[in-house]
Amino acid sequence: MKKQCSMCMEEKDLSCFGAQVGGKFGKRGRCKICRAKTEGKSEPDAYRKKRWYENNRELCLRRASNNYQDNRANKLEYQKEYTKKNKDKISKYKKIYHKNNKIKCANARRRRRAHKAKVQEKYDSIDGQITKMVFKNKCFKCNSNVRLAIDHHKPLSKGFALNIKNAAVLCGSCNSRKGTKMPDDFYSITELLEINILFKIAYSIKKEIYNDQIGFAKK
């Protein structure tokens, strides 16, 4: 799989890009060569820091935990007072943030729902990008491209976690009509066969990206 560098505009293999959570396919916008040129440092520096953290993980976690416990009461009191004095400002900021970070907010809502349903979910922004790409950014049921949402193919209310093989794209209307129905009660046999093929494609893309990231980290 290839990706275009946002700086040199060349199409390169995914292994030519550094990893970045939230980036397209989990990669940075600039390739490693362009990034090294503009930042004046080589990519291995970042990996030396990463290796140091991995070798001293317990120490880092202990320091972070101690710092949190030592300052927890003060931070909570400060947050409480700040929120009380800046309600309008915070409300305005939240509206802007939600508008500009729809995917993040949707992921957060899904995590809260999963937590409430006591289901472990592992579905991140990269998974969301893959799902939307495979479903061609349109509702699987009616082909609409308005008010699209990532839907639990098998419902969360029945204990099915959202993952790359249980995530479909539906518009708001179709998503509401499906509700907590099982797939067999909402889709036709032909649609079920087609959607299962799309799930397999999405899974194979994720697997390829994951293998590229693992191989890159070992270099």
Q: Domain ranges in the chain?
A: 2-42, 122-218
Tell me the backbone φ, ψ of residue 7, rounded to 5 degrees.
Answer: -105, -55
pLDDT at residue number 218 = 46
Q: Are β-strands 27-31 and 148-152 bridged in parallel, bridged antiparallel, or unpaired?
A: unpaired
Query: Which tokens sit at 53?
Result: 């953290």
What is the chain's pLDDT, residue by residue, as a tens digit (219 residues)?
888 888 888 889 888 888 887 778 888 888 888 888 777 655 556 666 777 788 888 888 888 888 888 888 888 888 888 888 888 888 888 888 878 887 777 777 766 766 666 677 788 888 989 999 999 999 999 999 999 999 999 998 888 989 999 999 999 999 999 999 999 999 999 999 999 999 999 999 998 888 876 554 444
The residues with which 19 forms a beta bridge, in sequence order, are 27
64, amino acid identity: A
* DSSP-assigned states of every residue in 28-71: EEEEHHHHHHHHTS-THHHHHHHHHHHHTHHHHHHHHHHHHHHH
pLDDT at 8: 86
What is the predicted pLDDT for the residue at 87? Answer: 87
Contact status, residue 19 vs residue 26, Cβ threshold 8 Å: yes
Q: Look up tokens 């362009």; give the residue.
A: 34
pLDDT, position 217? 47
pLDDT of the residue at 55: 84
Give whole-number Cα distances, 19 to 14, 22, 24, 204, in Å. 9, 9, 10, 19
Q: What pLDDT is recorded for position 175? A: 94
Q: Which of 114, 171, 109, 112 is nearest to 141 (CA)?
A: 171
Which pairs count as long-range contacts for 206-212, CB under 8 Å and 24+ apart, including other chains? Answer: 206/126, 206/127, 206/130, 206/164, 208/1, 209/1, 209/14, 209/25, 209/26, 209/126, 209/130, 212/1, 212/13, 212/14, 212/15
Distance CA 25, CA 38 (A): 22
* Integer angstrom CA distances of residue 42 from 36, 81, 150, 162, 214: 5, 44, 38, 38, 20
Tell me, what DSSP letter sits at residue 96? Answer: H
167-171 and 148-152 strand pairing: antiparallel
